[in-house]
Amino acid sequence: MNIYAENETANALPFVSRIEDVFKAQCEAGLIRRGTFDRKARIAQLDRLKAAILRREDEIIAACFADFKKPAAEVKLTEIFPILQEISHTKRHLKSWMKVKRAMPTLGVLGTTARIQPEAKGVCLIIAPWNYPFQLALGPLVSALAAGNSAIIKPSEETPHTSALVADLVAETFSPDLVAVFEGDVAVATQLLDLPFDHIFFTGSPQVGKIVMTAAAKSLASVTLELGGKSPTIVGPTANVKKAARNIVWGKFANNGQTCIAPDHVFVHRDIALKFNDAVKKEIGRVFGETPEAQKLTPDYCRIVNDRHFNRVSGLIEDAKSKGGKITLGGQVDAAQNYVAPTLISNVTADMEISREELFGPILPIIEYEDIDKVIQQINANPKPLALYIFDKGKTLVDEVIARTSSGAVGVNLTVVHFLHPNLPFGGVNNSGIGAAHGVYGFRAFSHEKSILHDKHSITHMLFPPYTGFVKRLINIVVKVLG
């Protein structure tokens, strides 16, 4: 499919096929648009995107199902809804986000007026992952367009049906000098990263994030890195066990565990461990079926995205079993379908791969604890996670864990839902990410806040050389009084 067919609109860009041509066209068009891509024009582009998504909803659902048998309801909730909400929220608040803000003077700069004016960074690159291939390709685009930028999107080749749909949807919605898509493997990504983009928004693994950041350093492009890590979950002694099980099962096994903020492993207090294990098993049975056969046949359970990832996830289970891990539920796999059953593992030890590697699959290690200090020490011994979850009725445990750990976000008595909160920054810290997305935070990520200072009646010239005795005395007074 040719995604760069000529557009019939007045600002159509002639047929182009090379990455460099599109990049150059976006650079040139951006200079022309600068100062004219106002709020009305930005909202018009967001409306076009929303209309295209709504018009092609059935195709989006079909593409996600073709790539990894994702249920239609889950596609609507996790792929389509977040983008539509982001568009609505952005349109509602864009006027205030774009507003030039006054900066009050200090005594040292009396006689001046100052303002801060958000402006587009320019040409942006969005590299999307495979686990939420539609939402994480077009969600960041909402922020990029809202901030006045153009963008090139690189969808994941590991979800080819959704990638092709994203490319086709973008081509029919935008002129390539505003938004374009390049499909392909790592060679395409490498060629894109060789270009001097103004900003790069990457979602993926910490390992690849380092490669992206290294490439960005060549042109000193700013970056937003949405990465991942092993998001720990703590179930305290006074937790509502039924509620904890319900939230953890949904957060863990939605999208077959292929979620960067899914609960990676659970620390459960020994006093309620048996009750919690039973509650999790019961919840899995309620949601996906009470027998292995029913779980495999349910239409509400996704699949691992491809053979490579299936082999990795099934290998994690085999490694844990070989080192003394106990499969308390699940463990069934089917390579022909890339199927891995919802799996619970106990007797977890530090030498198991599940203790070291981000699981990114339907495996839930459950670890009993008595001393919260040891749990916190273990969390802090690992890279800072993208999310951390705490279940407990008491405020003391929750506050202690929040105060003594560092993570991109914290969920208290829920999982994953913070991603859907448009007024919260979504992002990691250090190994789990740099920068933030969503709402005003996404707008800021794709914006440069330009400082503008006007001289009205400033007397700073009195401090300029030559440094006569009077000027020196005046400088001394300024340093003493204002410093």
* One domain for residues 148 and 121: yes
- Residue 17: the pLDDT is 59
Q: Where are the beta strands (DSSP E) in 85-139?
A: 101-103, 112-120, 123-127
444 belongs to a structural domain: yes
- Residue 483: the pLDDT is 86
- Residue 11: the pLDDT is 40
302 is catalytic: no
Residue with tokens 């461990």: 273
71 belongs to a structural domain: yes
- Total structural domains in the chain? 2
* One domain for residues 145 and 91: yes
- Residue 324: the pLDDT is 97
**Catalytic residue chosen out of the listed positions 64, 124, 260, 302:** 260
Query: Would you tell me how many other CB atoms lie within 10 Å of the CB of residue 183?
Result: 17
* One domain for residues 275 and 417: yes
Cα–Cα distance, 242 to 276 (Å, whole number): 8
57 is catalytic: no
465 belongs to a structural domain: no
* One domain for residues 257 and 215: no
* One domain for residues 189 and 314: no
* One domain for residues 193 and 60: yes
Cα–Cα distance, 119 to 108 (Å, whole number): 27
Q: pLDDT 10s digit of each residue in the chain, 483 long?
A: 333 333 333 344 443 358 999 999 999 999 998 878 999 999 999 999 999 999 999 999 999 999 999 999 999 999 999 999 999 999 999 999 999 999 999 988 999 999 999 999 999 999 999 999 999 999 999 999 999 999 999 999 999 999 999 999 999 999 999 999 999 999 999 999 999 999 999 999 999 999 999 999 999 999 999 999 999 999 999 999 999 999 999 999 999 999 999 999 999 999 999 999 999 999 999 999 999 999 999 999 999 999 999 999 999 999 999 999 999 999 999 999 999 999 999 999 999 999 999 999 999 999 999 999 999 999 999 999 999 999 999 999 999 999 999 999 999 999 999 999 999 999 999 999 999 999 999 999 999 999 999 999 998 999 999 999 999 999 999 999 988
* One domain for residues 219 and 337: no
DSSP for 27-69, please give it: HHHHHHHTTT--HHHHHHHHHHHHHHHHHTHHHHHHHHHHHH-
CATH of the domain at 300: 3.40.309.10
Q: What are 68's two structure tokens?
A: 């990894």
471 belongs to a structural domain: no
* One domain for residues 241 and 359: yes
70 belongs to a structural domain: yes
212 belongs to a structural domain: yes
Residue with tokens 């994480």: 136
* One domain for residues 134 and 283: no
* One domain for residues 271 and 382: yes
Beta bridge partners of 199: 124, 222
CATH of the domain at 140: 3.40.605.10
Domain hosting residue 354, numbered range: 232-425
Task: Tell me which residue of 223, 221, 183, 180 sits closest to 202, measured CA to CA.
Answer: 223
* One domain for residues 94 and 220: yes
- Residue 16: the pLDDT is 39
* One domain for residues 194 and 281: no
**Catalytic residue chosen out of the listed positions 79, 86, 158, 226:** 226
326 belongs to a structural domain: yes
Contact 257, 343 (CB under 8 A): no
